[in-house]
Amino acid sequence: MKRTRSHAHAGAEPPGLSELELARAAQKAVALAPQDKSAWTRADVIKHLGRVLPRTGLDPGAAAAMLADLADRALRSEFEPVICLEAPELTEVPRGLLRADGRSVYQRHGGVRYAARAAGHGRTHGRARQRRRRAAPDPRVRRARARRRPHAAR
């Protein structure tokens, strides 16, 4: 039987992964999710977590619970900045129309989308606009260039 690094730990830690290994896996999963789609779901994060986490030897129920908990922590921005793209409810939903998770029965199950927040988010568009303004020639320069080209449409 092949021993994994997580089984070699002695002490109070369960035969799973250390908190550092879990944090690194969550960071990788949040970084990989936008490579497939710009807006992704909790299921996408769980898929990527399953791909980047090493095998632990946990029973399937415990492994699924660990993945779900780690995905929820990642979506709460514990490891990397994440933005929830779901719009708020416009009106209060009656209690009879709420699911166990607190969402309306009219919302698609598992349909909440997320996006990774990039460093400097929101400032890049302004900088690009400034570069275009600097690059755009003055209207007088454009008219002078047009006069020099005899084939230019007027």
- Tallying the residues shown for the chain, one arrives at 154
pLDDT tens digits along 90-118: 888 899 999 887 888 888 877 889 998 76
- Which pLDDT score, from 0 to 100, does residue 42 have? 92
pLDDT confidence of residue 27:
94
Q: For residue 148, tell me if it sits in a domain.
A: no
Structural domain harbouring 31: 15-88+95-119
Answer whether residue 136 is part of any domain: no
Q: Is residue 125 part of a domain?
A: no
Cα end-to-end distance, the chain, whole Å:
81
Average pLDDT, the chain: 78
Res. 24: pLDDT tops 70? yes
Whether 41 maps to a domain, the answer reads yes
The model's pTM: 0.62
Kindly tell me the burial class for residue 50, based on how many C-beta atoms sit within 10 Å of its own C-beta (0-12, 13-18, 19 or more).
middle
CA 75, CA 108: separation in Å to the nearest integer? 18
Tally of structural domains, the chain: 1
